[in-house]
Chains A and B, each alone.
Chain A
Amino acid sequence: MGPGTVIVGTGQAGFQTAASLRSEGYEEPITLIGEEPHIPYQRPPLSKGFPLGQQDFESIQLRPGRFYQDHHIDLLAGKRVTAIDRHERQVRLESGARIPYERLVLAVGARNRKLAVDSGDLDDVLYLRSLEEAMAVKERLQSAQDIVVIGGGFIGLEIAAVACTLGKSVTVLEALPRLMSRAVAPIISDFFRELHASRGVKIICDASVSEISGSRSKVQKVVLRGGTAFPADLVMVGVGIVPNVELAQEAGLSVANGIAVNEYLETDDEDIFAIGDCAEHPCVFAGGRVRLESVQNAADQAQRVATTIAGRRSCYCALPWFWTDQFDIKLQMAGISQGHERIVTRGDAESRKLSVFYFKQDRLVAIDSINRPLDHMIGRKLIAGGVPLTPEQAADETVDLRKLEHAVAQQRSEPASH
């Protein structure tokens, strides 16, 4: 038996690669190495049910500890990989130990983007990505009263909703003119702005933070350029993430906005793959190369790499989808809306049932849905299958999307006429 597959990273992508390799019948050794001292866990609850106390660590573990023994997955938690020796086909650990590989999967994820503004040695300026960070946030949320969230993206808004639900005074400062602006249309941004405002969260857009100040290591306020100050005894920062590309870069692999891979998720070295938050890959649904930060992307890419390593090399072409939970509202997103030229809607914000259909060159590229789950699920099939849908049909409630999708699917499955 050879050295098998080494997976670096114990997030959703790393875990799923190991699990899928075994379910694909792969019998070689699997070594799963991660810096975090824990067994693999889900990250999405860390900004939702976990700080609210609805979920604990046990309930967010991707699998219980014995899963790894039962499936002969050698889990090295709390170990950092410091280098890849491509010539010797080994990874080197901080301890100096070397682990040989036949195939190497980089599922190394990303790290929090730090604020450009210096907060010095102030405590209580917290970021949120790892379990440790989530535990700190959860603990500080108990006693803090005035919470300023910097960043009105998914993570910032999710944690703002959590803090508000816990009865705190919450202010969200977003640098851009509207919330979640990289991901959704203005109508969705407006909906969430209203939602947060209705619960008492103060939302300030076009807010450029110039200073975070305090005394004796206690944070006291966040000051905007222009001078407006917001009192704070806890500052939460959610301004995006930066992919961990250094390991690949130092090994001479191509890096762009992430570790560069082809449609098979292979780096320049065909025995080294990169997947999940760290990987920049060609995406037919985006019409170009993208790096996506999502559970779907991590899990589907992991599955695909596992299939390839198990001997059936196959292209990655899964439809991206995303979700966010804020208060009692779930926003479901299918496809990639960036670069859209036109939108049409079904439902409306007043009824809290709304879908936004995004079109690019008259082709449906994405759907965002609030309380219209069937639009989202059928939408995934429509987009993935390239089912023709005009903006007029999308806007017309009487057009049954499910029937339309079924009709096209049936037509396509019929044998071609002679």
Chain B
Amino acid sequence: MPKVIYVSAKGHAREVEVPVGSTVMAAALKNGIDGIIAECGGVCMCSTCHVFVDENFFNRLPPAQDTEEAVLEIAAEERQPTSRLSCQIKVTDDLDGLIVRLPQRQR
């Protein structure tokens, strides 16, 4: 099973096994990762599952759709070049070892 590494704003890393097809957001909730709120449940209406994707992985992700791009505009912590919504990142075998950093705040 692919692994995803969540790095908290304070720098603590946690590695989680994620079934292929699950989202980075859903896996975070399931594994008790603090720092992902996911208020809207993954439908691109809020920005509370915002993550910064590690540069080595960013280009391997399918590009963000317009709805996701728009949501990143309202992120509580300002978006950066590798910002994504974790509800839109589906885990694949190719993404094994994916590193995402969590912002200081989501609201």
- Which residues on the B side are within 8 Å of A332 (C-beta)? 45
Instruction: Report the Cα distance A60→B40, complex, angstroms.
Output: 11
User: In the complex, what residue of chain A is closest to B29 when comparing beta carbons?
Assistant: A63
- Mask, B18-41, CB within 8 Å of A = 1, is 000000001001101010000111
Which applies to chain B's interface (DSSP): helix, strand, loop or mixed?
loop
**Known A63-B29, A295-B40, A299-B39: A321·B70 in contact at CB below 8 Å:** no
Please determine whether B107 and A374 come into contact, CB atoms closer than 8 angstroms: no
Give 26 A-B contacts (CB < 8 Å), ordered by A residue: A23-B34, A45-B41, A59-B26, A63-B29, A64-B30, A67-B32, A295-B41, A295-B45, A299-B39, A321-B45, A325-B43, A330-B43, A371-B66, A373-B44, A373-B67, A373-B69, A373-B71, A376-B70, A377-B70, A377-B71, A377-B73, A377-B74, A378-B70, A380-B74, A381-B74, A402-B73
Q: Which 6 A-B pairs have the closest CB atoms?
A: A373-B70, A377-B70, A374-B70, A373-B67, A42-B41, A299-B39
| Closest A residue by C-beta to B47 | A377
**Alpha-carbon gap, A44 to B44, bound state (A):** 13
Shortest B9–chain A CB gap in Å is 13
Secondary structure class of chain A's binding surface, majority of residues = helix
* CB-defined contacts of B40 to chain A, threshold 8 Å: 44, 295, 323
- With contacts A64-B29, A295-B40, A321-B45 known, is A303 near B73, CB below 8 A? no
| Interface 1/0 per residue, B43-78 and A, CB below 8 Å | 111100000000000000000001101110110000
A330–B71 Cα distance when bound, in Å, is 14
Q: A64-B32, A371-B66 are in contact. List 18 more A-B contacts (CB 8 A).
A: A16-B39, A44-B40, A63-B29, A66-B32, A70-B32, A295-B39, A296-B39, A321-B45, A323-B43, A330-B43, A373-B69, A373-B70, A374-B69, A374-B70, A374-B73, A376-B70, A378-B70, A380-B74
B66 touches A373 (CB 8 A): yes
Interface residues of B (CB under 8 A from A): 26, 29-30, 32, 34, 39-41, 43-46, 66-67, 69-71, 73-74, 107
Q: What A residues does B26 contact at CB under 8 A?
A: 59
**A378 contacts which chain B residues (CB < 8 A)?**
70, 73
